[in-house]
Amino acid sequence: MKSSQKSSAVLARRPVALAVGLLLTSLGLAHAQSVPSAAAPASAPAPATPAASASTATPATVSTPVPVPVPVSVSETPTLATVTVSASGLQLGSSELATPVTVLEGDELVQRRAATLGDTLDGMPGISASHFGAGASRPIIRGMDGPRVKILSDGAELQDASTVSPDHAVASSPLLARQIEVLRGPSALLYGGGAVGGVVNVLDDKVPTAIPEKGYTGSAELRASSNAREKAGVFALTGGTGHLALHVEGAANDAQDYRAGSGWPQGSRVPGSYQRGDTGSVGLSWIDTDGYLGAAYTRQTAKYGLPGDDAAHAGCGAEGNRLVCPADAAPAEASTDATAPMVDLLSERWDLRGELRNPFAGIAAVRLRSGLTHYRHNEIEDGAVGTTFSNQAYDSRIELEHLPIAGWRGLVGLQLGQRKFRADGEESFIQPTATHKVGLFALEEYRWQDWRFEAALRHDRQSVEAQSSGIERDHHGTSASLGAVWKFTPGYALGASFTRAVRLPTAEELYAQGLHLATRTYERGNADLRAETAQNIDLSLRKTAGDTTFELSVFRNHIANYIYGRTVDELGGLQLLQYSQQDATFTGFEGQVHQRLTRHLGLTLRGDAVRAHLDDGSRVPRMPAARAGLRLDGSWGPWQGYTEWLQLARQDRTAAFETPTPGYGMLNVGLSYGGTSSGAFGQRWQIYLKANNLNNRLAYASTSFIKTAAPLMGRDITLGLRVEF
C-alpha cells in the first residue's frame, strides 16, 4: 500500500519535473544560438517569487510606509508585521533584511494604486516618478531612472520601451498587482548589475500557484475620480480542481485631460493629458504538492496624449555641438485636445513560471521564470502615424536553491535575454538594434547568533549590434555584494551592505542619433561608451516593536564612468543631448518614524533627499527635490483614515540649461470602511474615499522633461468599492 501511494506521488509530480527538465534544455539551446560568448562561471537562482532579490543583504522589506498595526489590547506591545519578500531570493522576512526595501500590499496598495506604476509608488521613501502627463510615469529610485531601475513581473524583466524615453509607458497595470516590492540601491544582483538605482517587482496572480480551498476565489473593484473624470474597473477570478487551476483577470480605465493646480498660466486643463487603456490575462497551471508549472498570456492596450510635444522643431538638426533649425522653426504653441500627439500602444506577453521543491538530494527547489514580449506603439499626430517603436524580447532565468552546506544556504542561477528594438518614421532617432545578454549569479547567506550575513556575485556579458551600420559593441562586468544584519536587541536591527555593481551601456546610449520631439531633445549616442562601475555603501537602522517604530537609511554611491545625457546646446526650447561619461557621486537618506499616540491614533514623520554631482562640480540633471511628510492615521473598528501633509523643497541644484523648480506643499486625506458579509460566501468588502492635493496647489516635477507644459494634477477626489470573494 505504501509503495502504491509513493508511485502515485511520483507520477503526479512527473509533469512538472519533465517540463522543468525540457526547459533547462531549451534554455541551453537558446543560449548557444543567440549569445556569442558567455564566460563566467557561477550561477545562481533567485527565488521563484519575483523581484528584486538582492545581493547583499538587500532583500529587505519594510511593511507599509505608513500604518502601524493597532494592538488588540492596550497592554500588548505593538509590533510591525513581518512581510515575506519574494524579491529576497530566499523568502526572507522583512526583519531579516539588511538594505532598505518597501512592500505595498493589501488595503494600502488598493488606496495608493494609480493608472501608472510611477504614480502608484511616488512619495514612498526614496521613490519619485518621471512625470510625463497622465499616460507615462516610471519610478525613480534615489535619483536614478531609466535602465538603472529594473522593473520585473514576478521576477522576469518587463520588456517595453519605457527605458528608452520617459514618454513611453511601463507595460504593467498596477490595478492588477497583488503586491509591489521595491529594493532601493544596487544590491539586488540576482536581477542584474545594471539595476544601480534599485528594483521594482510587481507580483500578480496570473499564473496560479495553488488550488483555491473552496474551488474558486476572486475580486472586483470599481473606482471613479473627479479631476480627469476617470473611471476604472478591475476583476480577477481563479478556479481549480484536482491538479489544474485557471485564472482570468482584467482592468480598464478611461480618463480625460486633467486639471492642473490653481494659477497655471496656460489655463486649467493640460492639453493631451488624457489616457485610457485595458489589460487582460488568462493563465493555466498544473499544481501538486511538490510544485507547479504554469503559463499566462497578457494583452495590454493604451492610448494616451503627449503634452508639450514640440512639432515646430521637426526640421532641426545638429552640426557639431550646435543645433541648427529652419528659419521658420519656432517653439510650438500649446496643443489642443484635437491636435495633441498621442501614443497607441499594444503589448502581448507570454509568461512561463514553475517551481519544483525537493527534486533531488541537496536541492531545496528549482525555479523558472520566463517572459516573451511583442511590444509596439505608434506615435500619432494629426491622425497619421509619425513614428512606430517596436520591441521583440525575451527574458529567461533558472534558479537552483540548495540546502545548507557547512551552514551556508543559497542560490545559483542563469539568466538569458534578447532584445530587438527599432524605431521607424519621423522620430527614428536610433537605428534598429539587437542586444543579447547572459548572466550567471549566486547568492549565499549564513547565520550566527544574532547576525545574518549575505554575499552575492554576478557576471554579465552583453553584445549590442546596430543593424543598419553593422557596428557592434561587446561589454562584460562582474558585480559583487556583501551585507550583514545585526539584531543587537529585541525589536532593533542594524544593517550594512557594500556593493560593487557594473552597468553595461544600453543600445540607445550607444547609437542614438536624431530628434525626439516628445522630450524636446536631439539625442546623440556614443559607441565608445564604457561600462559604469558603482560602489555603494548602505547603512540602515530599524526599530520594529514598541509605541515608537522607525527605519532610517543613509547611502553613498560613487559611480565611475557615469553615463548621462549632457546638454551642450539649446535653441528655442530644443536641447542637444550628447551621451557622455564622467564620475558621479550620489549621497542621500530616507527615513520614517511612527509614534503610536493612542490605541487608535498614530503619527508618522517621513522624509528623503538625494544629492548628485559630477566630478567637475556640475549637477546631474532632473534630480528629485528633498521631501518631508507628516501623517496622522487612525482606525476604529471598520473605519480607517489618514490626513497627510507632504512638503517638497525648491530644486535649484540644476544642471546646465535646466531651470529651478519651485517647492510646494500638498494636503492629502483618505477614509475607508470595510467588513465581511454574512452567509456562506463571506465576502470581504471595502469602500474608500481619498482626496489628493486637496489644497489644489500648482506643482511642477523637477524630474520631468516637460514640467512647465504638464504640471502635476490639481485637486482630485477618488471613490472606490472593492469586493473579495
Question: Which string of DSSP letters, residue by residue, matches 158-178?
Answer: P-SSTTT-TTSPPS--GGG-S
Give me the phi and psi of 146, to 5 degrees please: 60, -135
Q: In angstroms, rounded to a whole number, what is the distance separating the alpha carbons of residues 457 and 453?
A: 14
Give me the phi and psi of 684, to 5 degrees please: -95, 130
Determine the average pLDDT of the residues in 249-262.
Answer: 96
Burial class of residue 237 (count of CB atoms within 10 Å of its CB; 0-12, 13-18, 19+): middle
Range list of H helices, 522-660: none
Q: What is the dihedral of CA 265, 268, 272, 276, to 10 degrees?
A: 150
Q: In angstroms, rounded to a whole number, what is the distance separating the alpha carbons of residues 590 and 628?
A: 10
Highest mean pLDDT, choosing among 85-99, 372-386, 610-624: 610-624
Q: Note whether 373 and 162 are within 8 A (CB).
A: no
Residue 141 confidence (pLDDT) above 60: yes
Strand 548-571 to strand 574-596: parallel, antiparallel, or no bridges (unpaired)?
Answer: antiparallel
Strand 149-153 to strand 198-203: parallel, antiparallel, or no bridges (unpaired)?
Answer: parallel
pLDDT tens digits for range 625-684: 999 999 999 999 999 999 999 999 999 999 999 999 999 999 999 999 999 887 655 689
pLDDT tens digits for range 398-423: 999 999 999 999 999 999 999 999 99
What is the model's pLDDT at position 46? 37
Cell of 159: 520588456
Q: What is the mean pLDDT of the chain?
A: 86
What is the model's pLDDT at position 651? 96
Best CA proximity match to 661, nearest among 653, 651, 670: 651
Using alpha carbons only, give the angle 197, 348, 472 rounded to the nearest 5 degrees: 55
Best CA proximity match to 564, nearest among 536, 529, 519, 588: 529
Q: Note whether 286 and 16 are within 8 A (CB).
A: yes
What is the model's pLDDT at position 329? 54
Q: Note whether 192 and 415 are within 8 A (CB).
A: yes
Question: Which string of DSSP letters, residue by residue, matches 2-33?
Answer: HHHHHHHHHHHHHHHHHHHHHHHHHHHHHHHH
- Residue 54: band (very low, low, confident or very high) from pLDDT cuts 50, 70, 90: very low
Neighbours of 399 (CB within 10 A): 27
Neighbours of 331 (CB within 10 A): 12
Strand 574-596 to strand 521-524: parallel, antiparallel, or no bridges (unpaired)?
Answer: parallel
